[in-house]
Structure formats: C-alpha cells, structure tokens
Amino acid sequence: MKLTPLVAACAALFTLSAQAETQLTVVNFGGANGNAQKVAYFAPYEKTTGNKIVGVEYNGEQAKIKAMVESKNISWDVVEVESPDVTRGCDEGLFEKLDYSKIGNKADFTPAAVHECGIGTFVWSTVMAYDGDKLKTAPTTWADFWDVKKFPGKRAMRKGARYNVEFALMADGVPVADVYKVLKTKEGADRAFKKLSELKANIQWWEAGAQPPQFLVAGDVVMTTAYNGRIDAAQREGKHLKITWTGGIYDLDYWVMPKGTPNKEAALKFIALASSPDAQAEYAKNIAYGPTNTKALAKLDAKVLSQLPTAPANAKTALQFNVSFWADQGEALEKRFTAWAAQ
C-alpha cells in the first residue's frame, strides 16, 4: 500500500515520538559527581539521541541490583559502582558483559579502567584536607595527620577500616610501595590498629562524603580524610579548603549494566558517550576527578589538570586501592574495625 504524504508524515512523527520515549535510568552517587554527570553526560546524550535520562541516586547498595536480576524485574539500565563491586558482581552474574566495539578502543583507556563487565569512568582519590584559613602551616604527610602536638585538634576519618588502615601504616613509616605487602600479614594489621589507637581520642568519624568539608568549615576538626571531589566542590563555592596529595589512595568508579536490562543498546550508547574524550574532559572541568580515557587529558588546561588525582605531581606519591586485597581480607578487617571502634 502506497502511503499518502499525510499518512507518511504521521507515521514518521509516531516513529520519532516512540524513539523519544525510550527512558534510560542511570544510577550514581549523587552530590557534586551527579551534577557533573548531568552536564557532561546526561544533557549531551539526551540531545543526540532524543532519549530521556532518569537519574537515580544511591549509596552503592549492590543488594538492590541482585534483587532486580534475580526477580528479572530490571528498572536500572546503567549503574555507577565502586571497584570492588565490579568483579564481585561480574562473578555473581549480575552484570552484562560489555561489547567494547560499541564503546571505544581499549588502548585509549587507562589499563585499570578496562573490565569485561564494566568500564572505569573516573579516577578519584581519598586524600588529606584542611582549611587554609585556620591552619597556617600545611600538613605534608600522614605522620603530620597523627601529630597532635604539632597540629592540635580533632581529625575526621571515614568510619570503617578501608583507607584508614593504609593511612595508619603510612603514618607509621611504611613506604607507599610496601603498604599492602605489610597489611597482608597479621603483624601488619596489628601495627595499623595500634597506630589508629594512638589517634583514637582525637578522631571524629564521618560516614557521608559531604561531611568532611562541613566539619572543616565549621571548625570541628583541623584535618580530615576526604574524597577529593568533595573538597573541589567546596573550593568552587569559595571555601579556602586545601588538599595534601601525599599518600592519597586513588581508585576508579565504573559503569555497569544490570543483567537483563531491556534497554541494553541505549545503555551502551550512553556508556560510549560517557567514555568519549570530549565528554570526559567536560566532566573533569566540572569536578576534579581524572578521566579514564587518556585522550581527554589533551583537552584540559593546566589549571584543571593540576587538581586531578591523575596529575603527575599528585599521582607520584599516591597508592592505588588494592581491590583484590580488600576482596580477600576486607570483611575480616571491617569486623575488627567495628569491634575496635566500639571499645
């Protein structure tokens, strides 16, 4: 049957509106990171595809993904996960395997970003931070963080073993290159907790990423461990907070697709766009997290580059978070930490 021009136009409009109605649910950790993703990834994706993105914030609860996959009721299409969860979720069959031919050239990405079930989307760091208005002498090492005579006052630390046991060993003189070698031994773990006990009376715990800059601005603590992106966000608001990069622990967050997502092709298009040099450069301009696509670096100016965990000066003394170590020993260390913190 030959279509009249009017019928053809209506059919074309119907096809366009049907395409525009594809909704993609993208899940991230919110905050400054979520806002940067809206600018760098969500808006360009919606503009180029006509698809709508529904953003969802979560706290990294993998149990939600597991429940969706097991019930075959998938309402999330693309999810940002932390590094330990990529491998664990992949092993448990919770994530789709990625088709890199639809994303980009593996050689363009930092090696740690390439995983069969996920692709690293940014490099972030847990660092030492302080208020430049309140602390005139800059702390330069984790030994300074522990030195309450030289720097009197409270310190804020994340409530958990992760990062803190590594920082404790660095404060106790263990070189960055040897931290996990020492921590793997019973003596090393004992040494870390002994060092933490030295500081315990001066620690104020934080549990959400927004708290460290708030504690610093309020004057509750003189120094804190913090996610570098949260300090960057506070600096953009005019706060005179500063970062000491020495011995920072860097890690990657990854994009994954829950197994059985009905919008797999649209999800892959989103991941491809969010993995492109232009989009990652735009993201890094909006929050100080390092691109995983190395071609994005050439698109950034010196000022932006200097604030990233991947900047050579910032990375030279950094420790890469050891995912396999925490997969093996994390549960035991977290249990020990909970008991220790309650004493």
Report mean pLDDT in 10-residue bins for the chain, 343 residues.
48 46 91 94 97 94 95 97 92 96 96 96 97 93 98 97 97 98 98 98 95 97 96 94 97 97 96 98 96 95 93 92 90 96 94
pLDDT for 18: 43
SS3 205: strand
- Round to whole Å and give the CA distance between 244 and 132: 11
pLDDT for 4: 52
pLDDT for 10: 46
Give residues with Cβ within 8 angstroms of 285, minimum separation 6. Answer: 40, 300, 304
- Round to whole Å and give the CA distance between 133 and 150: 17
Q: What angle do CA 296, 33, 37 make, to 5 degrees?
A: 60
- Round to whole Å and give the CA distance between 158 and 226: 8
pLDDT for 119: 98
**DSSP 8-state assignment for residue 317:** T
SS3 68: helix
pLDDT for 15: 45
Q: Tell the residue number behind the tokens 């404060």, with chain if given.
A: 171
Per-residue tokens: 282: 């735009």
In our burial notation (b when 16+ CB lie closer than 10 A, e otherwise), range 251-270 reads bbbbbbbbbebebbebbbbb
Beta partners for residue 204, in sequence order = 156
pLDDT for 3: 47
- Identity of residue 101: S
Instruction: Calculate the alpha carbon distances from 253 to 248, 321, 334 in Å.
Output: 16, 12, 21
Q: How many CB atoms lie within 10 A of CB 248?
A: 25
Instruction: Calculate the alpha carbon distances from 259 to 154, 186, 312 in Å.
Output: 45, 38, 37
Beta partners for residue 114, in sequence order = 119
Q: How many CB atoms lie within 10 A of CB 223?
A: 25
Domains of the chain: 5-123+252-314 (3.40.190.10), 124-250+317-342 (3.40.190.10)
Q: Is the dihedral of CA 187, 195, 307, 316 positive or negative?
A: negative
